[in-house]
Amino acid sequence: MSAAAEGMPPAAGPEAVGEMVREATAWCALHGLVVGDRADPRSGTVPGVGLVHAPFSLLPTHLPVSCWRQACELAPIFNELVDRVSLDGDFLQDSLSKTKQVDDFTSRLLDIHRKMMEINKEENIRLGLHRSDYMLDSETDSLLQIELNTISASFPGLGSLVSELHRSLIDRYGNLFCLDSKKVPENAASCRFAKALARAWDEFNVDSAVVMMIVQPEERNMYDQYWLAKHLKESHGITTIRKTLSEVEAEGHVLPDGTLVVDGRTVSVVYFRAGYTPNDYPSEAEWTARLLMEQSSAVKCPSISYHLVGTKKIQQELAKPNVLERFLENKEEIAKIRKCFAGLWSLDDEEIVKSAIQKPELFVLKPQREGGGNNIYGLDVRETLARLQKEGGDALAAYILMQRIFPKASLANLVRGGVCHEALAISELGIYGAYLRNKGKVVMNEQSGYLMRTKVSSSDEGGVAAGFAVLDSLYLTDKLI
């Protein structure tokens, strides 16, 4: 993926760029493309206090239309795969058994999963809101998957707005760049995620019930979440409540028939925008809340099994020969998934570990963590592997090795805090997917919009909320890969 322009063309001098930045940041304020300001201590807890525009790219990123179509075609296949794998409890437990010995967080999730297996807990209504992330590898001209997110797939709200921002800017300034706003695909991720939540609410079939969004106590990305609540209310007449895990523990209980009641309200759907990192469980209260919700009849997005399918270790297991065939029958769909897999290896593969120590720049070492800022790159790969080998035992099982993807870097204009700077940048495409099943019936299985993130090429990590990247959109080109 390359930036929309090799820097700004001569026609777009500093004055024009400055005008575009002012127009764009004003647009962000008027249209809710905002996040909490880290400089204001209340910005993560009090809505409407301490707002700044979300960081964004001034122009969209070029992507071959063939890659776009490939990624969109994969979304419903991955949705189905997550559901199939989630139903195989023994596969999840066995695949993560070594990881459990050395990773306390994964161990606690597996304990809840095991308890659900022991009581034969069935999730008749299963809702998945996923995001599969890709990069276009310049070495192979292939679109390769980085990871599959099955919990708290962020930015459907704000990501939807960036394509609107870019179309608006191109309509006004496109003559300076020879760009056509029609080549920026529409992005209805927030509406489509809200529709999926509403359909799950419908399937639950209790008119007085609410959707409960599980959030972190301090959430500067709350406006991304509020967009979903807005669509749920205005388009579907459904009320959303926001609760932290500790609030659920204090205010929640499960009735004898399985109904989850929190703060006196019946909950039909639990939508997790927290709970994906150990930091979200500072005490036993949060783990008690997670178990309570899992034991209830409310629709969980994700259920504990869907959550586990998104772990790095399961991603690596699915990349092994003949494993996809365990869950999918369609050979064409299996081939499409395999085509996007980057190299993924367990650390009990001595030859791969040896190769990674010799050439660490060709690999990424990934722990079982979400949210950005956790992966290990470069010489740190060699040092970490050497340390883990020295420690011995199952320490290696806490990580997987992945082929490093090398996207093409191009000049881009990145705007943060009202300031635009030009830099060599690379981009990552995330495709959202929504999946809803009620017993034997698939109610919904669709591609549900996209997220484009662009970052300075010298940065290894890519999270927007973690401060590494900016929000972006797509500009589709006919160039073939």
pLDDT digit string, tens, across residues 461-471: 545 555 568 99
Residue 454 in 3-state DSSP? strand
- Could you report the per-residue pLDDT of 255-301, keeping only the tens digit for each? 999 999 999 999 999 999 999 999 999 999 999 999 999 999 999 99
DSSP 324: G
Our answer to whether residue 339 is catalytic in this structure is no
Selecting among 247, 317, 333, 370, the annotated active-site residue is: 370
Choose the weakest-confidence range: 56-70, 115-129, 262-276, 358-372: 358-372
Confidence of residue 370 (pLDDT cuts 50, 70, 90): low
* Angstrom distance (rounded) from CA 254 to CA 277: 25
pLDDT, tens digit (0-9, with 9 covering 90-100), for 344-356: 888 888 888 899 9
369 annotated ligand binder: yes
What is the average pLDDT score of the chain? Answer: 92
Does residue 312 carry a catalytic annotation? yes
| Choice among 123, 147, 317, 333 that is catalytic | 147
Give the separation between CA 306 and CA 435, rounded to whole angstroms.
Answer: 11
Q: Which candidate in 79, 95, 149, 305 is catalytic? A: 149
pLDDT band at 167 (very low <50, low <70, confident <90, very high): very high
Residue 205 counted as an annotated binding residue? no
392 is in an annotated binding site: no
123 labelled ligand-binding:
no
pTM: 0.93
Active site residue 366: yes
- CA gap 229, 239 in Å, rounded: 7
Annotated catalytic residue, options 167, 366, 382, 437: 366
Identify whether 154 is a catalytic site residue: yes
Q: Is 336 among the catalytic positions? A: no
The 8-class DSSP code of residue 341 comes to: B
What average pLDDT does the segment 75-94 reach?
A: 98
Model confidence over 440-449: pLDDT tens digits? 999 999 999 9
- 371 noted as active-site residue: yes
Question: Does residue 2 have a known ligand-binding role?
Answer: no
Among the listed ranges 92-106, 197-211, 327-341, which one has the minimum average pLDDT value? Answer: 92-106
- The answer to whether 374 is annotated as binding is yes
Higher pLDDT, 349 or 405: 405
Given 100, 167, 192, 312, the catalytic residue = 312
CA distance 155 to 221: 8
Q: Is 220 annotated as a binding residue?
A: yes
Q: Which of 371, 416, 445, 446 is catalytic?
A: 371
Asked if 50 and 43 touch (Cβ cutoff 8 Å), the reply is yes
Q: Is 464 annotated as a binding residue?
A: yes
Determine whether the annotation assigns residue 252 to a binding site: no
For 26-48, b where at least 16 C-beta lie within 10 A, e where not — what string? ebbeeebbbbbbeeeeebbeeee
| 452 in Cβ contact with 189 (< 8 Å) | no
In this structure, how many other beta carbons lie within 10 angstroms of the beta carbon of residue 355?
A: 15
Is 370 designated active site? yes
Identify the three-state secondary structure at position 408. Answer: coil
pLDDT, residue 395, reads: 74
More confident call, 390 vs 50:
50
Q: Which residue in 142, 154, 303, 427 is the catalytic one?
A: 154
